[in-house]
Chains A and B, each alone.
Chain A
């Protein structure tokens, strides 16, 4: 592995926050990552999206130097994360998938301990609690926090030393919708401060709502990497029009020009089309425009097409 550090180039674009080149990793027979190359830019909110077992955690662990790739090179903030480089680790914050909390301590005591491990004073712990809006829980035992509060404490743990680059491994897994939204707000404010965030998730809405760019990973392979909008467009996922089944028959719908596919789901005729405007007008003439519901393509459609084609390919 190269130990060369990139020299800052005043004229060129800023050095990437993370660069992976041909990274592969196997656990015995299981190929967790297969020749993954990607670049995370400074200041972006970078999503890694994929189903369980896709290799997301392995990817993060390799980026932060907790795991060594079998092949390929990794560069983080211009340095190599392997072997352990404390100067580099000082600049990155990590929230692992299973949150690490000190046993039987309060939220405040836990953070004060982590602060001391980084050589910081108690004020750093208070600041981190404020940042995730948990200051009023400082004296609560970690075990007595709600799921959402625990996730925010885990985030505070990753942020305590004010890292430039933050890795979050499924930070909203197992949270109820409200807790997820409130964590999103915290994550958005971090991005607003100009920090680089790499965040894995298997929630599509999350990737769509938060990320500047999304890498879609399945079975260790990088399937696509682009902004959520571009991913949706480039995959040309069809739009869907929904009409109550008693207003329109399947045969009628299939007879319309520009319709790709017609199905019936839950009492609704679902029309898939890539010519949404034209078909909408035609359907509107048949049943009245106000009875038609439209569903535009989402990242979910793009994702399902990608990971689906992977499974049949």
Chain B
């Protein structure tokens, strides 16, 4: 087995054997989807798109971003705290190979989440309909996961304990979820808040999925969202390179 395949397997096993993270990855967002979906069933926003066209992409992007950020941050913190990073350092395997395996697991998780959440939203009770442009959601998904993996690397680089990871990641994710329209359509927010939310990566992730699934803004819509997500991914990767540490003992 190659080092990359072995690390992917090890990371995958560690992930699925952790009941809590599996719950927060799949069941928790689904709960939001069901509650909000039923609450606003059949309603439209400002006479435009159906409410489910906002809430399904919102919960989907938030659930995927959340899982990528928390998962990667916890992994990096554990690898460093348990001295696994220095174990890797002593082997011929380069660090990027190891990080790439974690990235692959995050992408796979995001894809499974996306399929699951979309399938539930397509049930007649929730009434989501896919526009022909739905495949454009795939690059949005890819770049969205990438951006949140990069944020996770920054958080995991800063935090030395599970408590610190949870604290920092929650401080980042909870306000961002509300300000980015994950649970409440951005189009219903005051103008200044709509403008401000553009500095948040989740806003672009939610927008991108909404655009793609609803066919809003043609192809330019998702393309713009992808570009913004790519910029965030790049920025946070640079930041992660600066916060990276091999060991808690400096």
A109 to B89 Cα, complex, angstroms: 19
A binding-site residues for B, Cβ under 8 Å? 64, 66, 84, 86, 89-90, 94, 96, 98-105, 109-110, 112-119, 121-122, 157
Q: Which A-B residue pairs are the 6 nearest by beta carbons?
A: A116-B6, A100-B83, A117-B91, A103-B14, A104-B17, A113-B10
B residues near A113, Cβ cutoff 8 Å: 6-7, 9-10
Residue of B nearest to A157 (CB): B87
Number of interface residues of B (CB under 8 A): 27
Q: Binary interface profile of B, 1-27, with partner A (CB < 8 Å = 1, else 0)?
A: 111011101100110011000000000
B residues near A119, Cβ cutoff 8 Å: 3, 92-93
Q: Binary interface profile of B, 140-171, with partner A (CB < 8 Å = 1, else 0)?
A: 00000000000000000000000000000000
**Secondary structure call for the B interface:** helix
- Asked whether, in the complex, the Cβ of B83 is within 8 Å of the Cβ of A116, the reply is no
A269 to B5 Cα, complex, angstroms: 67
Residue of B nearest to A118 (CB): B91
Q: For window 205-250 of chain B, which residues contact chain A by CB distance below 8 Å?
A: 247
- Asked whether, in the complex, the Cβ of A102 is within 8 Å of the Cβ of B91, the reply is no
B residues near A122, Cβ cutoff 8 Å: 1
Residue of A nearest to B246 (CB): A66
A residues near B75, Cβ cutoff 8 Å: 103
Residue of A nearest to B93 (CB): A117
A157 to B86 Cα, complex, angstroms: 13
- Asked whether, in the complex, the Cβ of A96 is within 8 Å of the Cβ of B83, the reply is yes
A102 to B78 Cα, complex, angstroms: 9
Residue of A nearest to B82 (CB): A100
- Asked whether, in the complex, the Cβ of B14 is within 8 Å of the Cβ of A102, the reply is yes
A96 to B86 Cα, complex, angstroms: 9
Closest chain A CB from B2 CB (angstroms): 7
Residue of B nearest to A93 (CB): B90
Closest chain A CB from B85 CB (angstroms): 9
Q: Does B88 contact A (CB under 8 A)?
A: yes
**Secondary structure call for the A interface:** loop
- Asked whether, in the complex, the Cβ of A117 is within 8 Å of the Cβ of B83, the reply is no
B residues near A118, Cβ cutoff 8 Å: 91-93
A103 to B78 Cα, complex, angstroms: 8
A residues near B93, Cβ cutoff 8 Å: 117-119
B binding-site residues for A, Cβ under 8 Å? 1-3, 5-7, 9-10, 13-14, 17-18, 75, 78, 82-84, 86-93, 98, 247
A residues near B82, Cβ cutoff 8 Å: 98, 100-101, 103
Closest chain A CB from B101 CB (angstroms): 10
- Asked whether, in the complex, the Cβ of A100 is within 8 Å of the Cβ of B84, the reply is yes
- Asked whether, in the complex, the Cβ of B87 is within 8 Å of the Cβ of A66, the reply is no
Closest chain A CB from B207 CB (angstroms): 35
A34 to B220 Cα, complex, angstroms: 65
A104 to B9 Cα, complex, angstroms: 12
A residues near B89, Cβ cutoff 8 Å: 66, 84
B residues near A94, Cβ cutoff 8 Å: 90
- Asked whether, in the complex, the Cβ of B86 is within 8 Å of the Cβ of A89, the reply is no
- Name the residue in B6, B18, B82 with the highest tally of chain A Cβ atoms < 10 Å from its Cβ: B6
- Asked whether, in the complex, the Cβ of A102 is within 8 Å of the Cβ of B92, the reply is no
B residues near A86, Cβ cutoff 8 Å: 91-92
Q: Which of A90, A114, A121, A157 contacts B92 (CB 8 A)?
A: A90
14 pairs from A and B in contact (CB 8 Å cutoff): A89-B90, A89-B92, A100-B87, A101-B82, A103-B14, A112-B6, A113-B7, A114-B87, A116-B2, A117-B7, A117-B87, A117-B93, A121-B1, A122-B1
Closest chain B CB from A163 CB (angstroms): 10
- Name the residue in B7, B75, B78, B84 with the highest tally of chain A Cβ atoms < 10 Å from its Cβ: B84
Q: Which of A89, A98, A104 contacts B83 (CB 8 A)?
A: A98
A158 to B13 Cα, complex, angstroms: 23
Q: Which of B6, B14, B84, B88 contacts A104 (CB 8 A)?
A: B14
- Asked whether, in the complex, the Cβ of B3 is within 8 Å of the Cβ of A116, the reply is yes
A residues near B88, Cβ cutoff 8 Å: 117
A232 to B130 Cα, complex, angstroms: 83
A residues near B91, Cβ cutoff 8 Å: 86, 89, 114, 117-118
- Asked whether, in the complex, the Cβ of B1 is within 8 Å of the Cβ of A104, the reply is no
Residue of B nearest to A116 (CB): B6
B residues near A84, Cβ cutoff 8 Å: 89
Q: Which of B2, B5, B13 contacts A109 (CB 8 A)?
A: B13
